[in-house]
Structures are given as structure tokens and as C-alpha cells.
Structure 1
């Protein structure tokens, strides 16, 4: 068990990219200053750089734990919640199981209707750091602290084929297959003029009948349009469709799940098991995708246990910042019995070089060791991209 928390440090991680996530801004897309682009296909704002909020906790014995959450947009909002409220309250609490601490932090604002968004992300960062510290204090890996000790392999699926032409995307997909990756997911933006069916058909012809091919629909469809696309894709036997409709619309999600002939995957924007419960009752998805950067470890595990009890498959989502919450996600995925994990190949290895202990990913698998905590700490060179955010 870790000791009482005595310090909470908050950092902004920012690292420039040669090409923005999901590709260069297009002619029909809106720039917000020099930091953000609003994507035309779904109206969502994305940063032009790699960005996250990182936290470091120390307890009274000097043991450290590291955590991370989304800082993609307006990161100071998350940092302020930690510095002004959550961090000081955390330091007033006794040492206890991290899940109990998550409940205490969540209770601070739930009766005012604050139970998601930036607040939940801030709690997620602290929760990851607490679990890291908790496991390290007992010289255990996170997966051992969660009841599943030992090193293991976890299959990874290739996420995205960011190339300008179909021929280039097919060559990229074939290259990953040649390296031992047998599953790929494409966003609807990685197509020629929105021809999703044509893209999937070409991938199926190139990769063969057994390769897993999923489609990320990026919340861009109505229920009717999503169902129609599902039937158009059926001859290509997709692995799953992801995030087809507005994320708040449980009725539409359930209608799509019932109306398409392949599995539906949801969950990357959920923060807590309260987000999953109505979708579980409505049979709105058969694949659950907890995102560690939003859930933290406590809620990742609660959602995963509910999913397993409901007979759903667990395939965690993976947005990448520095890579701390990705490390936590891989280890929690082992404990949760996940079947595989998203591999953001344009980001993962690039930023993993800034961390000591990051899991290797090659030949279609993550190699996850049984080292203490979440297994990673920022290396000296990481601090070239980390800026302390004070009160």
C-alpha cells in the first residue's frame, strides 16, 4: 500500500508533428489559430500536435507514480481542476485503495452535475498515477495489482492508413500484414472522396479473406445511413464498425447495432460505467472500447467487468499522448481479458522513445513485461516536451 500523497505536479506535454493526426488539413476544413483544425467529415476539433496532460504524484515515502490524460484541447482546463481542487483534496486523503480515492474525487462535484468531460479526465490522470504508485509501493506490476500477474503478449491492430491515394493505402496495409499484423481499422476519412465501400472492397481483395478489417465511422452518420452502409459493407465481411452516430444518442446506437450484420463497437468517449449502463441495457454494442485517457484505471476495469458479464468483447481504444496512459491501458487490458488492443502506429513508437520501459509492438503483438507499476517513466529527453503548469 502506498503512503499519503505529499505532492502533485502537473505538466503539459506538447510535441510537434510533421503531419497532423488524420492527415493534413483539407480545403474544406477550418483552422483555429495555429493549434487546431476542425475536420470537415465530422465537425470535431483536433490538435495539430501531440498533446496531453501528465501528472506526477509522490507519497510520504518518496515513491512516485505517473499518470496522463487528454490535453488535446484547452489543456489548461484539466490542469486547473487538478491544481485548484483535485490535487489539494487528494493530499488531504488517507492512503487507501485507488478505487476508493477515485470515488472520493468523483463525489466532489457529481451532485452539481459534473460527472464527465474535463473533470473526469483530470480524475483519470490522478487515478492512473495512484495505481502506478500503489503497485510500485508493493513492487508489483499493474496487472498483478489488478489480479493478473505475469508478462504476456497482447495482439495489436493497425489503426489508420494515412496515405493520399488508395494505391498507397493498400501498399501500407500489405506492408503491415507482411510484418505480422492481421487486423486493420480505417477511418472514413482515409478513403477516396468518401467511398468507404470501395475502400473496404479493395482492402479485402488485397489482404485476403481472413484479414480483419474494421471501419471507424467517426460519429458522422444518421442511424439510417449507418445501417445502409453496414449492409453495403456486408459482402466484404468487416470485423466491426465503430462510432457510427452521435455519441449521446443511445437509441440511435441501439438501432444501428440491431440493424447491421456485423458487430458494433462503442466506448472511446465514455468516462465511467454510468456511460456504459444504458448502452448495455439497450444492447447498443457487442464490442466495448474503454479509453484509458478518459476512464483511468478504476473505471477502465469497472466498464470491462460489466462488459465481460454482458458477453461483450473488450478491445481498448488508444489515443496517444506521451504514452503513459497507453502503458496503463495495455496492462489493464491484460487484467481485463481484452482480445486485442489498438496500435496507433503513427504515434506509438515515436513517443515511446521518450519513456523508459515502454512495451514493444512488432509482428502483430505488444510484448508487456511484468515490471513494477505501469512499467514506464519519462526519460530525461521527455522533459524537452514537458512544461510544468502551476496554480
Structure 2
């Protein structure tokens, strides 16, 4: 079957939410005229609504593939890149070579320094849509195309405890524990009494078997991070995420050598070129690739590097509408060393109404485990509600 790409279209989706990501506003935090908050704990910009960029590729023979990328800040930047740079190059190409196309698109702008940021986010959306098209063309899930599904179920840890007080956060975690979840990650950026008090209260409330992780949100120098993590270790810390600024490779390596628990990182890294120096410096024991930034081609290559460097993979899950979440599950299911996948409880469950299965089973996360959709390609596509929201 010969086919060609006829049209590439990017859409911005905005989904209201009752409570901002990471929980209620803290002292000194206000919502600006564009609907953003600067979180005081890590000086980082977050939206008050969930935003994402969806990408649709239509072929001349009538196939449609869907992709999605990280779009919580300045999503129109991604759409402009798609419209002005990528769509004209993609039109007329054979769509059934996603890895080849990814490499060609990467080469378009590399000499101008665009080997990260919004340009690579745009490539991630294209890449996911192309793999979706290939799966639909062959009538097989993406996990099959990538070599086979190793995991029918993927263990999920609860990420974020978005309540105003520590006692409420402990009770919130206990509610999820009662639903069958065994792993919990707290955000130190909103741990008002400090990370040590946070983990001590969680350990007391959840008991000795719970796995408790800490997201340190890039806040610390290496010496400060080492001192903090050592204080958390007696409470059974499972891993410490993002202890230092992401550009401080040597500092993160110092932390990894100076503590007794794995360091986790990688959500902000988009290609193997960004990951490679961190492997060389032995910065991590856990890699956290984010499908919304990497796309499937780079995600798989990063997973192979993790395997070769004896690093576990626990994929990151960010704000989206469910398309790149399905891609992450499909690709993650093929990995060997996959202890956990992050579960964004405030995002995943509502997204099930924004997507629909293309086979007989939707993706799900229940009793502490993800299950994959069983349809071809991603196994999911936008629901009628989401299509109406984005005007597709």
C-alpha cells in the first residue's frame, strides 16, 4: 500500500481544573493575566488549567494518526513550528518510516541550535502520530512494532499529594493506598513543613511497606541535596528525583555518589544526545524519560541506553490529554528494567473521557497497575468531546 502524508494539523487543547497542578496556591503565589503561577518553591511557571498540543496527520488514503506533546506553557509556539516548519516538509512523504523521518526533521534545525525546547517537543508529537499511523497500517499495537510486549501490567506510583496541609496529604495518600497503590511521591516544593517532616508523616501514616519517593524539583546545590537526602534515608526513601539544576551535571553526579538511594532524573531531557553525558557522569540510578518530550523513537533509544548502563526506567507522566500517555504505556511495556511508571491521578482518570479505545479495551490504572489498550497503533484516539473542544 503506497500512501503519502496529505495534511499535518496542530491543535491546542485547554482543560479546566479545580485545583492548580501541585495543589492550592501558597503565600506569595498569584495568578497572572495569562493564567500562570510562579511556584515560589522552585521558581517555575505552571498554568492554572491543563494545556496540551495535539497533532493530527492525515494521509491521502484516509488514514489518521494522532500525536501529542508537552504544551502547558506557550503552546502556540509548538503550533507555529508545526505550521511553518514541519508541515510543509512532511507533506507528500511516505508516513510509514517514523524513525527515518524523526532523524530527517532533527537535522533540519540542528545547526541553528534547536536540539531541544519547543522544536523537539514538536518533533515528539509528529513522531507519536507517525508510529500511530504505522500501527494502524499494520493492524498492530505499537508495543508489537517495537519488538513485543514484556509487561501486560505496569506498576504505577501515585505522583503528587495536592492538599493544603500535611495531615490532609497523608490522608490523601492513605486513600490511594486503600485502593491498592503501593508507591507515593511527594513534591518537596509544596512540603510546607520541610521534606523531612513530610516523609516522616507519610511513613507513619502509610506503614513500613509503602514505597515513598521525593521530588526535589531541581532546588538544591549538591552539598545541600546530599545533606537533605541523607536525612530522608532513615525514613525509607525509595529515590530522590531532580536534586540539582538540570544543567549541573557534575553536581548531580556528586549527589549520586554521596547518597545511599538512587537519584532519578530525565523528564526535561528530549534526546539521547542530552542523556549520554549524564550516563557518562553516572548521574542516575533511575531514568525518567517523558514521552511528551521525547516521542517514541527517542524514548526507545533512551530506554536502550538505560538498559546498557544498568539504569532502571520509571517513565515520567506530565500534563496532557491522554494521547502521549498511551504512547508511553505502549513503549514502556517493551522495556526490561521497568519497576514503576508515574501515575498522575489528577490527569489520567479525567483523560479517559477525552480519549476512546480503537480496540476492545481502553487503557486503565486500577489497584496500582496500568493496563494497555489493545487496539492498533496507540490503541486510543481523541473522543468526540475532545475533538469538539479543539475544533477538529
- TM surpasses 0.5: yes
Aligned to 1:363: 367
Q: Does the 8 Å contact 1:151/1:369 carry over to 2?
A: no
The equivalent residue for 1:57 is 57
Give ranges in structure 2 of 5+ residues lacking alignment.
Answer: none
SS at match of 1:342: strand
CA separation in 2, counterparts of 1:370 and 1:379? 17
Report the Cα offset of residue 251 of structure 1: 0.7
Q: Give the corresponding residue for 1:208.
A: 207
- CA gap 1:2/1:106 in 2 versus in 1, 3 angstroms: farther
Alignment partner, residue 297 of structure 1: 296
Conserved in 1, the CA contact under 8 Å of 2:95 and 2:133? Answer: no
SS in 2 for 1:62: coil
Moved over 4 A (4+): none
1:150 offset after TM fit, Å?
7.8
Deviations 1:72-114 (A, max 9, x none): 1111110010011111101143344211110000000001111
Residue 340 of structure 1 deviates from its aligned partner by: 1.8
The correspondence of residues 320-331 of structure 1 with structure 2, limited to 5 A, is 320-331=319-330
TM-score by length of 1: 0.96
2:329 is paired with a residue whose SS is helix
CA distance in 2, matches of 1:94, 1:346: 38
Distance 2:333 2:245 in 1: 30
Contact 1:159/1:344 (<8 A) preserved: yes
State the superposition RMSD in angstroms. Answer: 1.5
CA pair 43-126 structure 1, distance change in 2 beyond 3 A:
same
* Equivalent in 363, 368, 383 of residue 379 of structure 1: 383
Q: 1:317 — aligned with what?
A: 316
Does 235-244 or 92-101 show the bigger shift? 92-101
How far the C-alpha of 1:189 sits from its partner, in A, is 3.0
Q: CA deviation at 1:329?
A: 0.4
Tell me if the contact between 1:29 and 1:37 (Cα under 8 Å) persists in the aligned partners. yes
Residue aligning to 1:241: 240
Aligned partner of 1:181 in structure 2 is 181
Measured in 1, the distance between the counterparts of 2:189 and 2:111 equals 39
Contact 1:320/1:326 (<8 A) preserved:
no
Aligned counterparts of 1:221 and 1:149: Cα–Cα separation in 2: 38
| Conserved? CA contact 1:161–1:190, under 8 Å | no
Q: How does 1:42-191 map to 2 (within 5 A)?
A: 42-149=42-149, 152-191=152-191
Change (3 A) 1:325 1:26: same
